[in-house]
Amino acid sequence: QVQLQESGPGLVKPSETLSLTCAVSGYSISSGYYWGWIRQPPGKGLEWIGSIYHSGSSYYNPSLKSRVTISVDTSKNQFSLKLSSVTAADTAVYYCARQPVSQAAAGAVDYWGQGTLVTVSS
Amino acid sequence: EIVLTQSPGTLSLSPGERATLSCRASQSVSSNYLAWYQQKPGQAPRLLIYGASSRATGTPDRFSGSGSGTDFTLTVSRLEPEDFAVYYCQQYGSSLWTFGQGTKVEIK
């Protein structure tokens, strides 16, 4: 059973960098798939942030690209998100996810973490 | 970047009724990389449909997806109490993923 678990600070100050990690169990990141981050501001819809392949190839939402870095650590079977220069508009539930692109359910998000709320406030 | 527009914003129906949700793309969605998700309060979204019409593992057969190109539909043939939730469409293309703004299906 594939499981994803987000971890990181729940409160970040404005202008600082938000950092989250997603630990994956039940599947080896090195075996394939894209691994991504998706966020949801309180009461609003879903926004894709970016995704990374186990080889390190990464893709980002054009609207966030200048502030986002996603990295992967295959030795720990985890991947991470850094979002710089945060403002209150970055307050959201952040989900990590598995994204097949050449397997069954290609193009979709087939496994999600439970989500973690990050609040940007001084 | 492909923009997805869902309609209606809110659908008020009774259990047992049929629900029809629409998702329109600003450009053609490649290879039918169109998916639908269900989200209940306090939970992560759950994949229902991928490839526009293929049910994900565990999706009841009262859920069906259809469409191609720029127009897609999610149909729930007979609403069960547990189906009242928010539904999102999502597309993948050119290494970018985008979501629609969601349709809330509420109890009338």
Mean pLDDT throughout A32-48? Answer: 96
CA–CA separation, A79 and B77 (whole Å): 39
Mean pLDDT of chain A: 95
Q: What is the pLDDT of residues B34-44, one digit of tens each?
A: 999 999 999 99
pLDDT higher than threshold 80 for residue B31: no
Lowest mean pLDDT: which of A15-24, B25-34, B49-58, B59-68? B25-34
Lowest mean pLDDT: which of A105-109, B44-48, B64-68? A105-109
Helices (H) and strands (E) in chain B, counts: 0, 11
Taken as a whole, chain A contains a residue count of 122
Mean pLDDT throughout A70-86? Answer: 96
CA–CA separation, B10 and B104 (whole Å): 5
Q: Sign (positive/negative) of CA torsion A100, B101, B73, B14?
A: positive
Question: Residue A105's pLDDT band (boundaries 50, 70, 90)?
Answer: confident
Q: What is the pLDDT of residue A68?
A: 98
Q: What is the pLDDT of residue A13?
A: 98
Question: Residue A56's pLDDT band (boundaries 50, 70, 90)?
Answer: confident
pLDDT higher than threshold 90 for residue A31: no
Question: Are B51 and A105 in contact (CB < 8 Å)?
Answer: yes
Mean pLDDT throughout A69-86? Answer: 96
Q: Which of B31, B47, B99 sits opposite A46 (nearest CB)?
A: B99
pLDDT higher than threshold 80 for residue A73: yes
Number of CB pairs, chain A paired with chain B, less than 8 A apart = 75
Backbone angles phi, psi at B43, to 5 degrees: -120, 160
Q: What is the pLDDT of residue B65?
A: 97
Q: Which of B34, B44, B97 sits opposite A48 (nearest CB)?
A: B97
Question: Are A48 and B99 in contact (CB < 8 Å)?
Answer: yes
Q: Which of A3, A109, A114, A117 should we substitute to test contact with B (largest number of B Cβ atoms within 10 Å)? A: A109
Estimate to the nearest angstrom the gap between the alpha carbon of A114 and the chain centroid.
12
Question: Are A48 and B102 in contact (CB < 8 Å)?
Answer: no
DSSP string, B28-75: PPGGG-EEEEEE-TTS--EEEEETTTEEPTT--TTEEEEEETTEEEEE
Question: Are A107 and B51 in contact (CB < 8 Å)?
Answer: yes
Question: Are B45 and A110 in contact (CB < 8 Å)?
Answer: no
Judging contacts by C-beta atoms under 8 Å, the chain A residues touching residue B99 are 38, 45-48
With tokens 């295959």, the residue in question is A74
Q: What is the pLDDT of residues B74-95, one digit of tens each?
A: 999 999 999 999 999 999 988 8
Q: What is the pLDDT of residue A102?
A: 79
Mean pLDDT throughout B56-75? Answer: 96
Q: How far is B94 from chain A (nearest CA, A)?
A: 10
